[in-house]
Amino acid sequence: METYIKTFIDYLNYEKGLSANTRAAYQRDLQKLQKFLQDRFSVDEPVEINRDHILAFMNWQLDNGAEYSTMARSLSSIRTFYRFLFLEGHTRFDPTVNIDTPKIKRKLPEVLSIEEVDKLMETPQVIKPLGIRDRAMLELLYGTGVRVSELLDLQLDDINMTAGFLRCIGKGRKERILPVNQSSIFWIQNYLVKSRSLLVRQPLERTLFLNARGGRMSRQGFFKILANYTEKAQIDKEITPHTLRHSFATHLLENGADLRTVQELLGHADISTTQIYTHLTKTHLREVYQRYHPRA
């Protein structure tokens, strides 16, 4: 099965153009299935796997505390894998047929208030090179709504500070052009002049945001930076890079932006993905109403 998984991951890369993170998620799901089937049933070939094996795998995940969203994603990975095997002529049936996708209770994402955003932005010590870098990253993440992977992939040539736009490559290698606000531009210019020149080790390095060793920053590295500033700002919420993306979209809608524009800015292929933010704005309106209306 290992050979089939490798061929499938190559297909996702070269034929479908999926990101490294997405490919890694598919690979983890399939390798987890492979290990389970080998340990439990001594089954390794895709043609040997049947519906009962998949159901046993799903139940095993549930018994081990997996969230329904995790189970739904792994089932989707297996379905896509078998669709590929069928198209390539490696199998004639799909064992996931007639297996229902676990129902996911959609959880509304955490959103920061504008005051909390301001507090977070002001936390980095901008008298230090790394503090300037961190302020620039936070400003750009909230100011454009980009995903953390898109932020960390940015190259020097991707930002036109004179025109106030940046170019980013999103899911499925789709390019989008986003406006950049003046606050973000101010801090990026500060970073380029006062910080990046001190961090860079290789003259040919084109990645915009660098870690303390002069290389490309990892997602885990940025998560740690954000967690540190969340604690220092004393914000009693679980903040991830996606929280700033959610806050960006919610604040736009609260201030009158239309859903289609927000969809374009976020890079959502389907507007139904963007519609979750309308629920957030309705929740906000209800809270304001209940707080301030004398008859509420």
- Catalytic positions, written as ranges: 147, 171, 242, 245, 268, 277
Nearest Cα to Cα of residue 208 among 262, 164, 154: 154
Strand-pair partners of 72? none
**Type of residue at 148:** V
Strand-pair partners of 2? none
CA distance linking residue 179 with residue 45, whole number of Å: 50
Distance between first and last Cα of the chain: 61
Alpha-carbon distances of 196 from 104, 110, 209, 211, 214, rounded to whole Å: 43, 32, 8, 9, 8
CA distance linking residue 100 with residue 68, whole number of Å: 12
Token pair belonging to 295: 């008859």
DSSP 214-273: SSBPPHHHHHHHHHHHHHHTT--S---HHHHHHHHHHHHHHTT--HHHHHHHHT-SSHHH
Alpha-carbon distances of 36 from 58, 102, 260, rounded to whole Å: 10, 19, 43
Listed in sequence order, the residues at least 6 apart from 107 whose beta carbon sits closer than 8 Å to its beta carbon are none
Whose tokens are 């999103």? That residue is 170
CA distance linking residue 246 with residue 55, whole number of Å: 35
Nearest Cα to Cα of residue 5 among 244, 25, 55: 25
